[in-house]
């Protein structure tokens, strides 16, 4: 695996692969890699000849109340895990490389409407930071495809919208959620959970499964969402939001919609958990 931390070296390697007519896949991450991230790398290998992974903890997507300094950093472990997955290149830029003017004075990318819903309400400015850094990384790497996890379903739809709206020549590949044995969706934030909290955290996914069954026969979505939120709270979590949405627009679902996604977020101790489940009726 080749390690690169500057733009010139990255572009030179990409140029050499392009001259050989090799297809390039890209997996952007913030590090602290778990099996969910590695599933993205495995998927990328299925679609391309070369796989590039980036590790960059993006300050633009952290809110004022979110402590970026405490975000887990496990670079040496991450390198070893990526080597084991036959990653071809690891790009590890610094903030000065990504935001030479400082991220507050940097040109930004914002996807309207969809970015203001759900997690966008809970974390103002978060998706502006995500869209901006992904856009810049796409410009640097210039991949043919990019793999993103379906756990961050809203983020996935925002990136797909950005790619479509800006006519970016990148195919976005969604990768299924990887779950722990308990059903809890794998996330770097799971590291914040205590042993006791890990016992109750799976209630989020269990409630989504219950709700997915209910909406197949009951189209009173508002009432069902309220009941689901109460179930999550009764289990010992604190519901942030739970919403039954149109799977593509993320607008609030109507009784005539058939392709649905249930989006949910809840706090479990210090950890803010997100999850979703898709339902086709």
Q: What is the pLDDT of residues 100-124, one digit of tens each?
A: 998 888 899 999 999 999 999 989 9
**Region 91-96 average pLDDT:** 96
**pLDDT tens readout for residues 181-211:** 999 999 999 999 999 999 999 999 999 999 9
In this structure, the strands spanning 171-175 and 145-149 are parallel
Across the chain, mean pLDDT equals: 96
User: CA torsion, points 134, 271, 92, 88, in degrees to nearest 10?
Assistant: -80
Q: CA nearest 29: which of 146, 184, 139? A: 146
Residue 49, class by beta-carbon neighbours within 10 Å (0-12 exposed, 13-18 middle, 19+ buried)?
Answer: middle
Q: What are the sequence ranges of the domains in the chain? A: 2-175, 188-280
What would the pLDDT profile of 144-172 be if each residue is shown by its tens digit? Answer: 999 999 999 999 999 999 999 999 999 99
How large a percentage of the chain has pLDDT more than 90? Answer: 93
Q: Which helix (H) or strand (E) holds 127?
A: helix 126-141
The CA angle 41-270-176, to the nearest 5 degrees, is 25
Tokens of 118: 């759900």
The half-sphere exposure of 106 on its side-chain side, counting CA atoms within 13 A, is: 23
Q: Give CATH for domain 2-175.
A: 3.40.50.620
Work out the average pLDDT over 18-30: 98
Q: Give the residue-averaged pLDDT of 259-278.
A: 97
Q: Which residues are catalytic?
A: 37
Q: Say whether pLDDT at 66 is over 80.
A: no
pLDDT value, residue 104: 84
The model carries a pTM of 0.95
Could you give the count of Cα atoms lying within 13 Å of 95 in the half-sphere of its Cβ? Answer: 12
Rounded to the nearest 10°, the torsion over CA 64, 69, 74, 78 is 40
CB 263 within 8 A of CB 118: yes
Pick 188-280's CATH classification: 3.40.50.720, 3.30.1300.10, 3.10.180.10, 3.40.50.2000: 3.30.1300.10
Q: Which two tokens stand for residue 87?
A: 């990653």
DSSP character for 59? G
According to the model, what pLDDT value does residue 105 have? 87
- Tell me what pLDDT residue 281 has: 83
Query: Backbone phi, then psi, for 274, in 5-degree steps?
Result: -125, 150
- Count other C-beta atoms under 10 Å from residue 88's C-beta: 20
pLDDT bracket for residue 70 (50, 70, 90)? confident
Strands (E), the chain: 2-4, 24-29, 50-55, 89-91, 145-149, 171-175, 238-246, 259-268, 271-280
């Amino acid at each position: 695996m080749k390690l690169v931390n500057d733009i010139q070296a990255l572009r030179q390697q990409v140029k050499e692969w392009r001259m050989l007519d090799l297809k390039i896949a890209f997996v952007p991450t913030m590090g602290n890699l778990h099996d969910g991230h590695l599933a993205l790398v495995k998927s990328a290998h299925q679609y391309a000849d070369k796989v590039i992974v980036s590790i960059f903890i993006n300050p633009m997507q952290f809110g004022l109340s979110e402590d970026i300094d405490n975000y887990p950093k496990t670079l040496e472990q991450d390198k070893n895990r990526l080597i084991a997955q036959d990653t071809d290149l690891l790009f590890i830029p610094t903030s000065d490389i990504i935001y030479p003017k400082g991220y507050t004075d940097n040109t930004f990318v914002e996807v309207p409407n969809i970015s203001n819903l759900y997690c966008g309400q809970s974390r103002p400015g978060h998706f502006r930071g995500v869209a901006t850094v992904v856009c810049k990384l796409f410009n640097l790497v210039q991949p043919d495809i990019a793999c993103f996890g379906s756990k961050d379903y809203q983020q996935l739809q925002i990136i797909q919208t950005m790619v479509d709206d800006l006519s970016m020549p990148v195919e976005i590949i969604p990768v299924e959620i990887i779950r722990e044995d308990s059903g809890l969706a794998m996330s770097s934030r799971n590291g914040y959970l205590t042993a006791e909290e890990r016992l109750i955290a799976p209630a989020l996914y269990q409630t989504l499964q219950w709700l997915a069954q209910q909406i197949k026969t009951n189209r009173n979505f508002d009432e069902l969402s309220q009941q689901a939120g109460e179930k999550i709270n009764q289990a010992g979590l604190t519901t942030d939001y739970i919403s039954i949405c149109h799977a593509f627009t993320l607008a609030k679902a109507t009784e005539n919609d058939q392709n649905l996604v249930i989006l949910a977020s809840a706090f479990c101790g210090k950890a803010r958990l997100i999850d979703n489940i898709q339902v086709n009726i």
